[in-house]
Structure 1
């Protein structure tokens, strides 16, 4: 994991600024604390900059990387798995200067051009300059584990791992009011939007090509769920066996590192399955980290300890208290460059900080399993098989009260995905906190229709409800919040590289082909995964992996206990810096009402307050202006 910055002149006379590159790379120091490298074209029209977090070839893996003749230069963030076989095949025709995975990209591009993407397996973002074709080529991995954003400014194309690097290079920090409006209605900006005016997120599975002053974005991969008539015919036993094999392989390839690695662990089947699969391949006991909240219904430390003991791992438990959330929320929001709806972001921020302080640089996590195996309560609700859900999901993934209208979504899809209905209830509450002028602006657009217009409708046509819902979720919640804000943002604030076996595209491409009933079986979510990893005394499948108490446990979202009602002073002081699109008087009135609300109402109000806090904290930290 590293930090990237790249500049390309789009107009005659424009030149890459060395001072701007220095500032951009300095802002990304936490992403790459080990080395900084730059390359400038002789005419000053192109510049590539890299901050390195050394994981492989610690002494020799400096970037930017170049081809033998210097005509192809690249900077890479992330990991390319299975690179050993690619390198062995390329070595007869190319000279390698390092032992890193990243260098294979340069030589793959020399042989295959932009089709090199078809050969990549991993979590990555990169920028490559082809001097012969005068082409800048950038791309992001299939699910968007590694971030990359871009903008045009003063005749230049600028790309970076985070928006803060673009600000440091001279791009003005202004609110993107379209994104603010969408987020205030359905929590998430549109897939290509960021909260910052003029700054675009390169979507997952997409590449950016810049040639002859023109910039275009093209998709090279998508989720491509099968239509209902194309679903694979397969027995449960065969599906379980194949899932186990592919998961084991996805975990195994992510264990290669020349630095210590550890595991994020909770009481859920996902992170436990990753640890169980990895344990036999490690030279000694694994080290795992978990968070403990001191409130019933939110604390999974005991289950995490059960799993650690089961595989002989060392477990490090980090206590996170409400005062920790209050103290570190400003830093968490700034690092994530986005909005949060709960204190869980601070918990991840502190967990990764602790891992780094204790000598680790790589962490394997269970993120993505709910998207791949249909693990969320809202998906069971879409199927009509949801039993009593965990109350913590109310207002977050399950509706809690009246919401904004989503009839446009119902008209186009034939139903309203449950998670969208839940976000609509959040949107109604958030709408009550907007300034009068901005509320008028927001009311001019239909948030549901706006979302569907931004999505490739061909990916929804002919698919079942669960697949349609998952597609929309993956393009918004997964990429924009779970991976970007809670994942990369919290990990790279402390120089931790996250690796996500469940988002291995070879595993996903098999699982997506399975019939829905193997993912949600009666009222059991992630059925095929649970069957593949559950330890059974009889010696049947999965023995020795995940204890039954964890493998059969219902999905519980990773959430911190509500704190807003117990933090009125923090709320008031933060809301004093509210951006103009929020109504300070209404925010203050809500703070005053909080103690009188029922516990259920406080839980449902918490995400709205955290959204408002996020807007205020971003406004202050980045000195945001209106466009």
Structure 2
């Protein structure tokens, strides 16, 4: 059960329900509720002293925390679903959902529900019986610095070393290790500083992922003389997502694959490291998309259209929308909301990189470790070290656009491992296994509907019927594969909005 507090102003004073104090995540030093700039770390905290509620979030707002306010009350929790009035219907935020169903993440402080908002980065919220007040001291978008490529790479190497030094383990630990750059850099730097993990562990993703993450990670661990273990992926993608969606506050379509890995870490380690932010800041996984869609402040509506078309569901999403939702969650509404967010990043060194960091990283990727993870564990995020973020977010675009900055930093810091390669170079697997996996998802979705959630078949927007119809015609396999997770999400969301627990 996630912590929650609700405060109600009455003629007789303030009625307080729930947890009067909570410390979530981990601040490296100092009191996260103290005045001044937020300390290092990913955290959220609040305290009710009987007269005033004080709430603070970390510098980047990575730890999820949500609030619901009206004229006389405030409710607060890291779980937005805990803020829904039990048994009552809830109004959906249609502008927010118009973006979400296409991109797979929310923007800014949006959630699926009109009345519930995420706390901003570096937020200080205070509440008394006179009402709430919210300030955000988030760092401004960083302009490009006057750097050479060598200075950009050297600064990355040195600042990352300093970030890890500030986060050296104080107990034996297990390190989650993928076949990518971010966790590799963490492991190599920890080893360089003599802080070896007792075990490296990798997770496995759903098809069409080729399983290269674990294979590459195992080779690196073997080179370093470290034990390595692979945790199997969930047996059912449908059941994993059915649990992960509400567990992550209906804030993302990702993360379900990581549940067994996170459960392993909870059982075996009270401390672990996460590469959160490394990709978006240093070598953006969407760099090809960014290259093909240059940011021009005079062209934001067209850029928004291209991003929506290239999003998680792309044009396929239209197959799930009926007459009602096609108007409520239209491409036009999504474009207008997305343009407003894109405009905030106009001055950034790499505007779309900044956009993805403050939105996809913060509002979607961060949910796996900090919503599905363990609030009792210490989860270090060295890429979110303040000085390192300031450096990487000010590297000029010309040194980021080729998508090699992190490779160069790794080659500079650890040339002996430069030939190992990365899992991203291995192509995805298609064929009978993938077809069987997709059919299993569809079968389990309909079986769950028949036996447990019969209201889903009578969905107001006929989501299941539209999903079946999407399975006809050219391109049906890819279309249905993209739409199945969203169809499940929309059915669960409809239940929640109606006051039912899916």
Q: Scaled by the length of structure 1, what TM-score is found?
A: 0.69
CA distance in 2, matches of 1:442, 1:335: 24
2:437 counterpart of 1:549: no
Q: Who is 2:258 aligned against?
A: 348
Note closer, same or farther for the CA distance 1:153–1:316 as it changes in structure 2 (3 Å cut): farther
Question: After superposition, where does 1:107-256 map in structure 2 within 5 Å?
Answer: 109=34, 113=35, 116=36, 118=37, 120-129=39-48, 134-152=51-69, 155-167=72-84, 172=88, 174-178=90-94, 179-211=96-128, 213-226=130-143, 231-256=144-169
Q: Of 489, 494, 498, which residue of structure 1 is paired with 2:371?
A: 489
| Offset, 1:507 | 0.5
Please tell me whether residue 529 in structure 1 is matched to residue 432 in structure 2.
no
Give the secondary-structure state (helix, strand or coil) at the position aligned to 2:56.
strand
Of 410, 419, 443 in structure 2, the residue corresponding to residue 569 of structure 1 is 443
SS at match of 2:329: helix
Q: Distance in 2 between matches of 1:295 and 1:360?
A: 28
Kindly indicate whether the alpha-carbon contact (under 8 Å) linking 2:179 and 2:423 is maintained by their aligned counterparts in 1: no
Tell me the equivalent position of 1:432.
319
Report deviation, 1:149. 0.5
Please say which of residues 243-252 and 183-192 is displaced more in the overlay. 183-192
- Of residues 504, 511, 514, the one that matches 2:392 is 511
2:491 — aligned with what? 616
Q: Tell me the alpha carbon deviations over residues 211-232 of structure 1, each in whole angstroms, 9 at most, x when there is no partner.
A: 4523232220135120xxxx32
Partner of 2:202, secondary structure, is: strand
Give SS of 1:288's match: strand
Which deviations, in whole Å up to 9, do the C-alpha atoms of 1:499-532 show, x marking residues without a partner?
Answer: 32112222010112221232233xxx1x332222
Per the TM alignment, residue 205 of structure 1 is displaced from its structure 2 partner at its CA by 3.0
Question: Contact 1:382–1:418 at 8 Å: present in 2 too?
Answer: no
Alpha carbons of structure 1 residues 13 and 615: separation in structure 2 relative to 1, 3 Å:
farther
> Does the CA contact (< 8 Å) of 2:67 and 2:118 recur in 1?
yes
Return closer, same or farther for 1:340/1:224 CA change in 2, 3 Å cut-off. Answer: closer
3-state SS of paired residue (1:278)? helix
Offset at 1:121? Answer: 1.2
Matched residues in 1 for 2:297 and 2:148: separation? 35
1:562-604 Cα offsets, whole Å, 9 max, x none, are 732343321323565435345332123235x3xx765xx5345
Give the CA deviation at 1:150: 0.6
Scaled by the length of structure 2, the TM-score of the pair is 0.84
**Is the CA contact (8 Å cut-off) linking 1:124 and 1:146 kept in structure 2?**
yes
Task: State the shift of 1:120 in Å.
Answer: 1.1
Aligned counterparts of 1:233 and 1:373: Cα–Cα separation in 2: 17
Look up the SS of the partner of 1:319 in the other structure: coil
**SS in structure 2 of the partner of residue 353 of structure 1:** helix
**Residue number among 373, 380, 387 corresponding to 2:282 in the alignment:** 373
> 1:335 Cα deviation (Å)?
1.2
What is the RMSD of the two structures over their aligned residues, measured on CA atoms? 3.7
**Partner of 1:422 in structure 2?**
310
Instruction: Check whether the contact 1:574–1:616 (CA below 8 A) recurs between aligned residues.
Output: no
- 8 A Cα contact 2:121 2:137, kept in partner: no
Structure 2: distance between partners of 1:551 and 1:185: 29
In 2, Cα distance between the equivalents of 1:276 and 1:622?
Answer: 46
Residue aligned with 1:550, SS: coil
Structure 1 unaligned runs (5+)? 22-37, 39-47, 50-74, 84-100, 387-407, 535-539
C-alpha displacement of 1:251: 2.2
2:106–2:360: 8 Å Cα contact kept in structure 1? no
Shift of 1:172: 4.5
Distance 1:354 1:597 in 2: 41
The alignment partner of 2:240 has SS state of helix
Q: Is the 8 A contact 1:195 1:338 kept in 2?
A: yes
Residue 552 of structure 1 and its aligned partner are, at CA, apart by 10
- Does 1 or 2 have the higher relative contact order (CA < 8 Å, sep 6+)? 2
| Higher mean C-alpha displacement, 505-514 vs 139-148 | 139-148
CA 1:444–1:214 in 2, change beyond 3 Å: closer, same or farther?
Answer: farther
Which is higher, the Rg of structure 1 or of structure 2? Answer: 1
**Number of equivalenced pairs:** 489
Partner of 2:5: 6
CA–CA separation in structure 1 for the residues paired with 2:140 and 2:283 = 14
| Residue equivalent to 1:337 | 249
